[in-house]
Structure 1
Amino acid sequence: MYQALYRKWRPQVFSDVVGQEHITSVLQHQVSSGKLSHAYMFCGSRGTGKTTCAKLLAKAANCTNLQNGNPCNECDSCKQINAGTCVDVVELDAASNNGVDNIRSLCDEVVFPPSVVKKRVYIVDEVHMLSASAFNALLKTLEEPPEHALFILATTELQKVPATIMSRCQRFDFSRIKKEKIVDRLMEICSNEGINMEREAAVIIANLSDGAMRDALSLLESCASKGGFITTEYVINLLGLSNKEQLIELIYSCAKQNTVRALTITDELHEKNGDITSCFFELLSICRDILIVKNVSSPSRFINCTETELNRLTEISEILSNDTLSYFIDELKKFINSPDSFGVNKKVSAEITVIKMTSPSAIKSFDALSDRISRLEETIKSGVVVEKNSTPVKEKIKTSKKEDPPTPEVVVEEETKEKSKPKSTSNKDVFEHVNELVKKFGEKESMKQFFLAKAKMKLQSGTLVVIADDFVIQMLNTPSCTSHILECAREFDSTIENVQFFNEKAQQSTQNSDLDTL
């Protein structure tokens, strides 16, 4: 009968367990020296070998022919445990047997000696799922169990296990398995199973497994189901991943502030993968890699990529500053954590995020200008006069009067200049609350605040005229945005009756034609 790869290749001795040598060596020594504890707590993330080590410990504790602390897998007890037919080795899933009655029946059975093997072993998986009353029922038995009993508790959420239970167990923390070891194990299994696979494809599987060997073997089985040679491209297409080269090119386009190219790649990613949010998760990882390349002398220790990809990341790191990379990471995290990333309009939100990333200086300059204007307004309201700038000016005037007394010619020239100056724009045509309006608008339309910040505004006969380029007008000229702009503007000037959008280039061409006429 066919068996899944992760079951078929489950380690049969402690030395076969990958990436947990700090635990297996201790258990192996305890078995060989006959100093087993009565209770163990195995904790760690999924797929790291907790249940595997529990079964190995159960076999080793009952093996009649130990091989340097490892079970022989040939005696009757080892064969029964491997086949799952040993009545004295009990596996209990606490997720589905979490009631106090289940634990009470277990405690009642503990007092009876094993019928076949030396020790009666209880493996309780996901022990954190037990109820409070179930933990209390287990407590006394766990504290003073019979000599023939061995408890092995496993959990992925140690913080949910009561301290009273923890204090009665020997604790072992299973770490995530390193990606290099997962890749080596995958290639070894492929060699034995007759599966042909590129090592780069194994690297992709190892990255997706997140340190869990079981997950890696399940992914390998999915990829190997079609037969033939497993290439990197096939793994990417089968698992619905984004092409890393394409993602790196997107970051490069943002670094070069090439908005058109960046939006084109975003559209291609959306059409190919469907889930743009998963692509942005990978973009976040790439930005992290670039940050490491920029700040670490030997980045290959901390990132998993090919030599070609590393050279590309190095090229991008020379273009971007740490501040800009941090800004990219913040914008990607905002998109990933926002409700829009899972909504029907996530493509629009993704495109807006990409546009922000292609013009980070505009955002930063707007924020800095807004803060500066706010400080100046506070200074004007308080009536504080800055004397540092005024004193040197007065001294300059006095000095100039002493050294260069004015002549009639100079006075005439100054008067002529004053006459030739154009008249200042009337205050009625100036909208003085631009920054406040942008902030108010951001509370209602957070994803489009950036576009309004790039626009200019003025008043004309009760109309708020918004001047911007075609793309900004296209993003803002919707019924929802227009009503919100009008609503926010009327908070500062009640005479405003409507909002009109005007193309910036058209205005410049009109002004140029007026000058030509003059």
Structure 2
Amino acid sequence: MSYQVLARKWRPQVFEDVVGQGHITRTLQNAITTKRLAHAFLFSGPRGVGKTTTARILAKALNCSEGPTPTPCGKCDSCRETTAGMSVDVIEIDGASNRGIEHIRELREAVKYAPTRGKYKVYVIDEVHMLTNEAFNALLKTLEEPPPHVLFIFATTEPQKIPATIHSRCQRYGFKRIPLSEIIDQLKKIAAAEGITVTDEGLAMIARAAEGSMRDSQSLLDQAVSYSGMTVKNEDLQATLGAVAQEKLLQFAAGLLSRDSGGLLKQIDGLLEQGLDMRQFLAGVVEHIRNLMVIKITKDPGRIVELPPADIQNLQQQASGVESDQLLLLFDSLSKTLDEMRWSPHQRFTVEMGIVKACHITPLRPLAEVLARMKEFESRLTPGTALSAPAAVGVREQSGPYVPKTAAVSHQPRPSEAPGGGGGATTDEWGRVMSALKAKKPSLASYFTQSKLLNTSDTGFTLGFPAGFQRDQVEKQEHRDYIEQIAGEVLGRKIQLTIKPLGQGEAGPSPARTKTPAKKKPEEQPPIVQDALRIFGGEVIETDQTEEEG
């Protein structure tokens, strides 16, 4: 007798044997028991999770000699013929090769005839989404009102491609991916019955590679036995599956977290010598970083991370010594490298440089910390410095002894002195008034760009303006009243603004530049200059101070 693969040999024959789909098998069993069975079903879900198997069990349950029954006997002629795929009353149709309207016409003619042996004629159409739109339309009437002895079961992996008119005529059952633990338990059962020796870690590797498909896991186990014999070693599984052992992922992740780029390059070289696919390996590393993040932020990671309990415990130990921000940066960097490998002709170089880059990522400072430092920096500035423009300071690195240059001294009045010989108020006070005016009404403050402060006193300021639009705007009574109101609020006393015309030679402000020949000590510099010297490690070589009046 020819060999029968494990996926066929261990195919479920009753509802109770279907793994991971209890929400569906229970519903179908109750429907049979209560005689509330629909005339059309749509089974959707990933590959290898039991859609066609459940359809065959349902057909067997309906045509069993003891049925309809939720537990078919499996011994009668009808059950044995359905199991062998030879029943004339259970018609399985491949939707990919029988997708035209002519095939549906033949089906419409065939449904008129009564079943030969059983009570129902069951049509199982696999990959039904492959039918053409014309074939779906031809099926609508028959599907809506089929003969009482006909039952339709549609199976598909892409339900979104099926027209809504078909959906509305069927009961839809969504098959889900089978959990890792249930696949491992089933593989243990099969291995024990078949005399196969394999470790729990090996079964976990097979189950992860199957990605939730029971049929795929059984096929992979069959392949591993063909490679290794009845004793399957973990090293053999890594060779056949191209998978990476969890210990290697833990070791590689430890190197990433400790930024040991040299050690990681050596590990990559060793994995390449073993013939491991670099893209598959990097995908495993990305998944490992994701698992670390999930374990770090969730209380019950076993429901999300599909790993055995022992591996989850190892991940918890590794995740306890790392910050979430570092994991996020690593995941983002390695994911970009994984995407770049799709188009790179030199995958080894791409993965090596991507690993080095990930090791040199500097964690970002929290925004709250940056804002707190900025606030502290602002609080160290004097009020006058905060309101006026800072002096332009030339800073250079200390590459050698500094030789001072002789600078001409321009004898200009100090900013704090009142031009015009007045007393009381100072230009600093006028600067405060202008700052408040700019904050509240910038358009009005812009008219003072060509003004010149002529005189100050305790009761007001005298400003000179050249003839033109700006002076006309400032002389408007409502504008002068508003400026005097702002000045009064800032200085705490009543202020009067006086406008005088300027001569042609006096038009516009003439910034005075003062060069100070003598160097100040670092501690004598303004706070902002002291911070610049501390951060950049420089030296003040010259101070250019621009005075702007108005």
Query: Structure 1 length as normaliser, TM-score?
Result: 0.69
Distance 1:75 1:293, change over 3 A: same
1:81–1:89 CA contact under 8 A, matched in 2: yes
Q: Report the counterpart of residue 431 of structure 1 in structure 2.
A: none
Q: Report the counterpart of residue 233 of structure 2 in structure 1.
A: 231
Q: Deviations over 1:48-69 (max 9, x none)?
A: 1100010011111111114951
Paired with 1:348 and 1:116, the residues of 2 have a C-alpha distance of 66
Matched, 1:121 2:122: yes
- Which protein has the bigger helix share? 1
Paired with 1:57 and 1:292, the residues of 2 have a C-alpha distance of 40
Q: Deviations over 1:107-154 (max 9, x none)?
A: 111111112221111000111111111110111110111111110001
Paired with 1:158 and 1:6, the residues of 2 have a C-alpha distance of 25
Deviates more, 1:125-134 or 1:319-328: 319-328
Shift of 1:392: 4.0
Matched, 1:247 2:228: no
1:154 partner SS: strand
Q: Report the counterpart of residue 421 of structure 1 in structure 2.
A: 402
Equivalent position amino acid for 2:336 in 1: K
Equivalent position amino acid for 1:331 in 2: S
Shift of 1:186: 0.8
Shift of 1:227: 2.1
1:46–1:156 CA contact under 8 A, matched in 2: yes
1:341–1:349 CA contact under 8 A, matched in 2: no
Q: Deviations over 1:428-452 (max 9, x none)?
A: xxxxxxxxxxxxxxxxxxxxxxxxx
Matched, 1:8 2:9: yes
Residue 316 of structure 2 is aligned with which of 314, 317, 324? 314
1:277–1:342 CA contact under 8 A, matched in 2: no
1:121 partner SS: strand
Identical aligned pairs, as a percentage?
A: 39
Q: Report the counterpart of residue 491 of structure 2 in structure 1.
A: none
2:99–2:135 CA contact under 8 A, matched in 1: yes
Shift of 1:315: 4.0
Matched, 1:285 2:266: no
Q: Report the counterpart of residue 334 of structure 1 in structure 2.
A: 336
Map 1:79-228; keep pairs closer than 5 Å.
Answer: 79-225=80-226, 226-228=228-230
Equivalent position amino acid for 2:239 in 1: N
Q: Report the counterpart of residue 507 of structure 1 in structure 2.
A: none
Map 1:367-516; keep pairs closer than 5 Å.
Answer: 391-392=382-383, 394=385, 421=402
Shift of 1:310: 4.0
2:342 partner SS: helix
Equivalent position amino acid for 1:7 in 2: R
Q: Report the counterpart of residue 296 of structure 2 in structure 1.
A: 294
Paired with 1:420 and 1:185, the residues of 2 have a C-alpha distance of 80
Q: Deviations over 1:362-390 (max 9, x none)?
A: 8x59xx9xxxxxxxxxxxxxxxxx99876
1:273 partner SS: coil
Q: Report the counterpart of residue 270 of structure 1 in structure 2.
A: 272
> 5+ residue gaps in structure 2?
368-376, 387-397, 406-550
Q: Deviations over 1:9-46 (max 9, x none)?
A: 11111111111111111111222333221100111111
Equivalent position amino acid for 1:110 in 2: V
1:32–1:66 CA contact under 8 A, matched in 2: no
Distance 1:308 1:87, change over 3 A: closer
Equivalent position amino acid for 1:257 in 2: R
Q: Deviations over 1:309-357 (max 9, x none)?
A: 445433432343212211111122212222x335321111101110111
Distance 1:15 1:352, change over 3 A: same
Paired with 2:59 and 2:312, the residues of 1 have a C-alpha distance of 46
The count of aligned residue pairs is: 383
Residue 305 of structure 2 is aligned with which of 300, 303, 306? 303
Equivalent position amino acid for 2:190 in 1: I
Equivalent position amino acid for 2:123 in 1: Y
RMSD: 2.7
> Which structure has the bigger radius of gyration?
2
2:344–2:350 CA contact under 8 A, matched in 1: no
Paired with 2:69 and 2:121, the residues of 1 have a C-alpha distance of 22
Q: Report the counterpart of residue 70 of structure 2 in structure 1.
A: 69
2:333–2:354 CA contact under 8 A, matched in 1: yes
2:36 partner SS: coil
Query: Structure 2 length as normaliser, TM-score?
Result: 0.65
Equivalent position amino acid for 2:104 in 1: I
Deviates more, 1:61-70 or 1:201-210: 61-70
Paired with 2:300 and 2:162, the residues of 1 have a C-alpha distance of 40
Shift of 1:239: 1.5
2:265 partner SS: helix
Equivalent position amino acid for 1:269 in 2: L
Q: Report the counterpart of residue 357 of structure 2 in structure 1.
A: 356
Shift of 1:422: 5.3
> 5+ residue gaps in structure 1?
369-385, 396-416, 425-518
Equivalent position amino acid for 1:24 in 2: T
2:44–2:175 CA contact under 8 A, matched in 1: yes
Deviates more, 1:25-34 or 1:303-312: 303-312
Paired with 1:160 and 1:67, the residues of 2 have a C-alpha distance of 33
Shift of 1:420: 5.5
Distance 1:303 1:387, change over 3 A: closer
Distance 1:308 1:184, change over 3 A: closer
Map 1:13-52; keep pairs closer than 5 Å.
Answer: 13-52=14-53
2:209–2:241 CA contact under 8 A, matched in 1: no
Distance 1:2 1:296, change over 3 A: same
Q: Deviations over 1:278-315 (max 9, x none)?
A: 00110111001111222223434432445664454334
2:97 partner SS: coil
Paired with 2:238 and 2:68, the residues of 1 have a C-alpha distance of 43
Paired with 2:108 and 2:212, the residues of 1 have a C-alpha distance of 35
Q: Report the counterpart of residue 506 of structure 1 in structure 2.
A: none
Paired with 2:338 and 2:269, the residues of 1 have a C-alpha distance of 17
2:72–2:79 CA contact under 8 A, matched in 1: yes
Distance 1:159 1:422, change over 3 A: farther
1:175 partner SS: coil
2:123 partner SS: strand
Paired with 1:337 and 1:171, the residues of 2 have a C-alpha distance of 36
Paired with 2:11 and 2:380, the residues of 1 have a C-alpha distance of 78
Paired with 1:64 and 1:221, the residues of 2 have a C-alpha distance of 35
Distance 1:249 1:144, change over 3 A: same
